[in-house]
Amino acid sequence: MKELKTDLLVIGAGSGGLSVAAGASQMGADVVLLEGHKMGGDCLNFGCVPSKALIASGKAAHAQAHSVRFGVADTIPQVDYAAVKDHVHDVIAQIEPMDSQQRFEAFGVKVIREYGTFISPEKVQAGDHVICARRIVIATGSSPLVPPISGLDTVPNYTNETIFDLRERPDHLLIIGGGPIGMEMAQAHIRLGSRVTVVEGLKALGKDDPEAASVVLDTLRSEGVDIRENAMIAQVRGTEGAVEVVAENGETHRGSHLLIAAGRKANIERLNLEAAGIERTKTGIMTDDALRTTNRRVYAIGDVAGGLQFTHVAGYHAGVIIRSALFGLPSRAKTEHIPWATYTDPELAQVGLTEAQAREAHGKKLEIARFDYLHNDRAIAERKTKGFVKVMVVKGRPVGATIVGHQAGELINLWSLALANNLKMGQIAAMVSPYPTIGELNKRVAGAYFSPRLFENQTVKRVVRFVQRWIP
Ligand SMILES: Cc1cc2nc3c(=O)[nH]c(=O)nc-3n(C[C@H](O)[C@H](O)[C@H](O)COP(=O)(O)OP(=O)(O)OC[C@H]3O[C@@H](n4cnc5c(N)ncnc54)[C@H](O)[C@@H]3O)c2cc1C
Ligand SMILES: NC(=O)c1ccc[n+]([C@@H]2O[C@H](COP(=O)([O-])OP(=O)(O)OC[C@H]3O[C@@H](n4cnc5c(N)ncnc54)[C@H](O)[C@@H]3O)[C@@H](O)[C@H]2O)c1
């Protein structure tokens, strides 16, 4: 056994672990990084990056088939599914060097390509190394949750870890789960020429504002995706090419390929948390606001912490714990200003409270400002008029924003800034947006908040009439 001593041990080289390792090593800490599988973790290899690359192929195909309204004849797209997957892997390859072992070794990080297991509260074994660290960060991410569905162990199925390697286009993709993974994959595949059925046990896109989610679901349905809700799958049967899923309500759906997109489970099995005195919750590792586990020298960040599971959250967590682990400063992870977006077309984005949450929290103090894409000139020119921006406002400050429509994921950035800095609606309204941009929607929704105060206000009208009588 080789013994190593270090300031900081990071377990997992995904979005969270790499951010900690890069930041801490460049600030002078001695860092050891463990990775049992692929550098870059889920986001690069099996998550955000391949899914967005696949979505881009779907968009290209959809644009060819729907161009006549721009005066350009529609064509039936000739999709080469294997070439689409080449594109997906080429995109991964282009981003890969940023997450590579070589890059991190150049920062001075000692990278060990082994899974880590606690053998005591301050020691972790990885292959033939035992690492003793002043501080340890668990950033081991999550894996696809395979629900206890009868027959699933014998019927061929795909998850996000295998679907991006499939090179023959599914004739009919059956998806269990109508969350963001299910919906993004459903739309990409229908646009690439597969038939698609999504079977959701509860409500599709159920974590989002229902009014906004329904804009996305209606669009997917209009493109041909068969979305079945309230159909919890209890049984699957069949063979490769002919799969059947049976819901508790008796519905049966058939397809050629089965994708499981039924949620995530934290990667804790290999860690031997008991040896380190680290407690878990139902969804991951138990942490306090500072992301410390029940073992004070150990932090848990990103998906394994069991909260919001996004790459930008893992990156944000990394910043929070660097402050505390490296500088010994108080640090707290907040959630109120964390946005998320689902990259369907139209996109769906949220930050802060939804309308329902804001009503519950603020009751009559809540005001809703709203502006529809239909009135944005750039959206009209691009024929992207579906959707709206809705901002929840309390005492002149936004407490949440919901956007569904073209580039919603880009538009939500401004509201993330506003919530992170407690900005007022007046500060958003003061911004000048270039015309014609989709981004103008954000200014216009702030305008919509103020218009009734200005245009339907008798005092304002009286003051204007009075001043107009006196000025030369
Ligand atoms: C299909 C899909 C699409 C997604 N799209 C988006 C998106 O568009 N935007 C977004 O923000 N998020 C998206 N996500 C979520 C995002 O991928 C995760 O939130 C993010 O990767 C979490 O980062 P992490 O560092 O916590 O874990 P990961 O990136 O998964 O990294 C964990 C790493 O730890 C390693 N590991 C595990 N156990 C051990 C051990 N014991 N020892 C050593 N190494 C270990 C794993 O091999 C892995 O490499 C998507 C996820 C999926 C599945
Ligand atoms: N754009 C993005 O940022 C993005 C994209 C994809 C994934 N992600 C991340 O990955 C996480 C996981 O995504 P997900 O879509 O797998 O999970 P999810 O938990 O959001 O959705 C899973 C869905 O599967 C349903 N389900 C579970 N068991 C079922 C069964 N037996 N039959 C029918 N339906 C069943 C659930 O009711 C749920 O609606 C997301 O919460 C998000 O954090 C993010």
Using the CB atoms, write b or e for 244-254: b if 16+ within 10 Å: bbbbeeeeebe
pLDDT at 457 over 90: no
Q: Is the dihedral of CA 363, 405, 186, 164 positive or negative?
A: negative
**Cβ-proximal residues to 87 (8 Å cutoff; 6+ apart), any chain:** 53, 56, 57
The ipTM is: 0.98
Question: Does any ligand 2 atom lie closer than 6 A to the CB of residue 149?
Answer: yes
* CA-proximal residue: ligand 1, atom 35 (nearest): 12
Mean pLDDT computed over 453-462: 79
Kindly give the distance from the C-alpha atom of residue 284 to the centroid of ligand 2, in angstroms, as a whole number.
16
What are the chain's domains? 2-143+265-327 (3.50.50.60), 152-264 (3.50.50.60), 339-455 (3.30.390.30)
pLDDT at 159 over 80: yes
Residues lining ligand 1, Cβ inside 6 A: 11-17, 34-38, 41-43, 47-48, 51, 115-116, 139-141, 160, 181, 267, 270-271, 302-304, 309-312, 314, 343
Number of the ligand closest to the Cα of 207:
2
Q: What's the pLDDT tens digit per position in 411-456? A: 999 999 999 999 999 999 999 999 999 999 999 999 999 987 777 7
Q: Which atom of ligand 2 is nearest to the CA of 206?
A: 39
* CA-proximal residue: ligand 2, atom 21 (nearest): 179
Number of the ligand closest to the Cα of 304:
1
Kindly give the distance from the C-alpha atom of residue 233 to the centroid of ligand 2, in angstroms, as a whole number.
14
Q: Which residue bears the tokens 């000139």?
A: 377
List strands edge to edge, sheet with 233-239.
233-239, 242-247, 252-255
Q: Are 155 and 237 in contact (CB under 8 A)?
A: yes
Question: How does residue 45 score in pLDDT terms, banded at 50, 70 and 90?
Answer: very high
pLDDT of amino acid 127: 97
pLDDT at 397 over 80: yes
Kindly give the distance from the C-alpha atom of residue 16 to the centroid of ligand 1, in angstroms, as a whole number.
8
Question: How does residue 103 score in pLDDT terms, banded at 50, 70 and 90?
Answer: very high
- Name the average pLDDT for the chain: 97
Q: What is the 3-state secondary structure (H, E, C) of 206-257?
A: CCCCHHHHHHHHHHHHHCCCEEECCCCEEEEEEECCEEEEEECCCCEEEECE
Query: pTM for the whole thing?
Result: 0.96
* Residue whose CB lies within 8 A of the most ligand 1 atoms, among 15, 55, 92, for a mutation test: 15
Q: Which atom of ligand 1 is nearest to the CA of 312?
A: 11
Q: What's the pLDDT tens digit per position in 49-77? A: 999 999 999 999 999 999 999 999 999 99
Question: Does any ligand 2 atom lie closer than 6 A to the CB of residue 232?
Answer: yes
Please give the structure tokens belonging to residue 272.
């031997």
Give the torsion through C-alpha atoms of 108, 114, 119, 121, to 10 deg. 40
Q: Which atom of ligand 2 is nearest to the CA of 264?
A: 12
Backbone phi, then psi, for 279, in 5-degree steps? -90, 155
Q: Which atom of ligand 2 is nearest to the CA of 247?
A: 32
d(CA 5, CA 428): 50
Number of the ligand closest to the Cα of 205:
2
d(CA 355, CA 334): 20
